């Protein structure tokens, strides 16, 4: 199916006070200040609106084209489009970047999305709901410097939506939590504060939680395929297979993503600290600076567990996430080191070769 991108591309004349075609795509000072005015015509900015295996779908002011796959670009990125040599198109500095450790044995990192203003972490009021997984998503967003919001879909299918809301609220004071029926007319109004003109928001979460249903609700159209009715829709096949931006009537840009099976954090220490701010605050009051909270005297963390103010399971999840992040970050650093060493080796081999030739 070829998407109709005409909504992104109004006619040439833009009335005053109306957003320009680039602003409609989320363009703003954070990007324009990175380039000289004459670069705008030589290498015009385009936004990556979809990532396919075969390449990047990009849109700009009167530009709609596909770029070859570029490892350093991801959906949401702004790229200075070099029509003569598309591969050399330069990625502009980002406002934010969401990344994770690539699934599988490869230790590399995977870029998920760039220049997102709000991450909606979506889960459902059913067996998909999992506090540990929510904590991961929140850490991912905080690490990227993005405001996360938790959305609990399918409240209409349970009598107990409020208990899910309470469990989600207990994770962090800094995160708004909303129960929302994605199949109703609630989403546009409920999410309006975050979906203002020119803002880019993303739905992240497992398969089947309603990310595409929410995107359709914001679009006001059933433009995107969603899962059919099944007995158990909390698990199973993935319906959305690629990441794509959609422009919605409010003027915001919405990223629908495929469900993630596995979310491993890497280089996310500050994101984890933000989610577990309460434990970090307690740790600051421990007698020893390097307290491991494993029975040392004067440990404020263990004291909080003992007096019931800190859930021991939460402490355990914090430890686990920190350990995982430390391991992944170290292996990634090692890999980067190796890549650099390999790069140097290739360079010096090339130099030898040209020296020999010369
Ligand atoms: N009753 C009810 N059904 C919902 C709600 N949200 C989503 N659904 C249904 O759940 C199923 C899965 O929704 P999708 O929007 O396809 O889920 P997704 O998160 O996009 O899934 P992937 O694309 O596989 O990642 C569909 O049948 C939706 O109609 C809700 O709030 N209430
Ligand atoms: Mg989907
Ligand atoms: Zn301690």
**How many residues are listed for the chain in this entry?**
358
**Check whether domain 97-256 has CATH 3.40.50.300, yes or no:** yes
Query: Distance of CA 3 to CAs 81, 223, 224, 228, 255, Å?
Result: 21, 9, 10, 21, 15
Cβ distance 215 to 256 under 8 Å?
A: yes
Query: What average pLDDT does range 212-231 have in this prediction?
Result: 79
Q: Which atom of ligand 1 is nearest to the CA of 229?
A: 27
CATH of 21-91, one of 3.40.50, 2.30.30, 1.10.10, 1.10.3470: 2.30.30
Distance CA 315, CA 302 (A): 9
Task: Say how many Å lie between the CA of residue 5 and the centre of ligand 1.
Answer: 24
Bridge partners of 121, per DSSP, are: 150, 204
Task: Say how many Å lie between the CA of residue 299 and the centre of ligand 3.
Answer: 4
Tell me which residue has tokens 């324009």: 32
**Fold match flag (97-256 vs 269-353):** no
Instruction: Give the mutation target among 120, 123, 182 for probing the ligand 1 site: most ligand atoms within 8 A of CB.
Output: 182
b/e per residue, 214-226, with b = 16+ CB within 10 A?
A: bbbbbbeeeebeb
Residue 330 contacts by C-beta under 8 Å, 6 or more apart in sequence? none
- Confidence at residue 8, expressed as pLDDT on a 0 to 100 scale: 54
Query: Distance of CA 313 to CAs 132, 274, 279, 318, 319, Å?
Result: 10, 18, 12, 9, 10
What band does 16 get if pLDDT is binned at 50, 70 and 90? low
Instruction: Give the mutation target among 226, 228, 257 for probing the ligand 1 site: most ligand atoms within 8 A of CB.
Output: 226
Task: Say how many Å lie between the CA of residue 198 and the centre of ligand 2.
Answer: 23
Q: State both tokens at 92.
A: 């502009």
Task: Say how many Å lie between the CA of residue 213 and the centre of ligand 1.
Answer: 5
Distance CA 111, CA 78 (A): 14
**What ligand has the least distance to the C-alpha of 180?**
1
- Confidence at residue 203, expressed as pLDDT on a 0 to 100 scale: 97
Q: Is the CB of 133 under 6 A from ligand 1?
A: no
Residue 58 phi/psi, 5-degree rounding, is: -125, 150
63: left (phi over 0), alpha (psi -120 to 50) or beta: beta
CA 292 to mean position of chain CA atoms: 31
How many Cα atoms within 13 Å fall on the side-chain side of residue 226? 19
DSSP state of 155: G
**What ligand has the least distance to the C-alpha of 211?**
1
Task: Say how many Å lie between the CA of residue 110 and the centre of ligand 2.
Answer: 19
Instruction: Summarize pLDDT for 157-207 with one digit per residue, the tens.
Output: 999 999 999 999 999 999 999 999 999 999 999 999 999 999 999 999 999
Instruction: Summarize pLDDT for 223-268 with one digit per residue, the tens.
Output: 777 776 444 444 456 777 788 999 999 999 999 999 988 888 888 9
**Check whether domain 269-353 has CATH 1.10.40.50, yes or no:** yes
**What ligand has the least distance to the C-alpha of 207?**
1
Q: State both tokens at 249.
A: 């009537």
- Alpha helices of the chain — where are they, by DSSP H? 21-24, 29-32, 39-42, 131-143, 161-169, 186-190, 211-219, 269-275, 277-284, 300-306, 312-357
Tell which residue, 128, 141, 66, has the closest CA to residue 100.
141
CA 300 to mean position of chain CA atoms: 34
Distance CA 173, CA 166 (A): 12
Task: Say how many Å lie between the CA of residue 285 and the centre of ligand 1.
Answer: 45
Instruction: Summarize pLDDT for 282-319 with one digit per residue, the tens.
Output: 999 999 999 999 999 999 999 999 999 999 999 999 99
Q: Is the CB of 247 under 6 A from ligand 1?
A: no
Is residue 301 packed enough to be buried (19+ CB in 10 Å), middle (13-18) or exposed (0-12)?
buried
Q: Is the CB of 258 under 6 A from ligand 1?
A: yes
Q: What are the residue boundaries of the structural domains of the chain, listed by start?
A: 21-91, 97-256, 269-353
């Amino acid at each position: 199916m070829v998407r109709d991108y005409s909504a992104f591309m109004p006619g040439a004349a833009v009335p005053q006070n109306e957003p320009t075609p680039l602003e409609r795509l989320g363009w703003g000072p954070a990007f324009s200040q990175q380039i000289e005015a004459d670069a705008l015509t030589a290498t015009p900015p385009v936004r990556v609106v979809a990532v396919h295996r075969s390449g990047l779908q990009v849109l700009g002011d009167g530009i709609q084209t596909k770029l070859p796959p570029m490892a350093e670009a991801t959906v949401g990125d702004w790229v200075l489009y070099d029509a003569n040599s598309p591969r050399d198109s330069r990625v502009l500095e980002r406002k934010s970047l969401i990344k994770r450790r690539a699934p599988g044995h490869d230790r590399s990192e995977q870029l998920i999305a760039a220049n997102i203003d709000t991450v909606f972490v979506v889960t459902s009021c059913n067996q998909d709901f999992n506090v540990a997984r929510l904590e991961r998503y929140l850490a991912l967003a905080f690490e990227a410097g993005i405001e996360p919001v938790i959305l609990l879909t399918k409240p209409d299918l349970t009598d107990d939506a409020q208990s899910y809301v309470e469990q989600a609220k207990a994770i962090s004071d800094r995160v708004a939590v909303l129960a929302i029926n994605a199949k109703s007319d609630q989403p546009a109004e409920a999410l309006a504060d975050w979906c203002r003109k020119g803002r880019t928001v993303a739905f992240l979460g497992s398969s089947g939680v309603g990310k595409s249903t929410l995107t359709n609700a914001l679009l006001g159209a059933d433009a995107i395929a969603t899962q059919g009715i099944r007995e158990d829709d909390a698990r199973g096949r993935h319906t959305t297979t690629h990441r794509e931006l959609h422009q919605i009537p409010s003027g915001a840009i919405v990223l629908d993503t495929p469900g993630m099976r596995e979310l491993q954090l890497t280089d996310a220490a500050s994101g984890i600290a933000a989610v577990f701010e309460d434990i970090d605050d307690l740790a600051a009051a421990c007698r020893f600076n390097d307290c491991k909270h494993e029975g040392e005297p004067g440990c404020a963390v263990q004291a909080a567990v003992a007096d019931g103010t800190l859930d021991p399971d939460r402490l355990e999840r914090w430890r686990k996430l920190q350990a995982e992040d430390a391991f992944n970050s170290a292996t990634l650093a090692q890999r980067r080191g190796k890549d650099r060493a390999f790069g140097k080796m290739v360079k010096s081999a090339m130099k030898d070769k040209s020296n020999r030739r010369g």
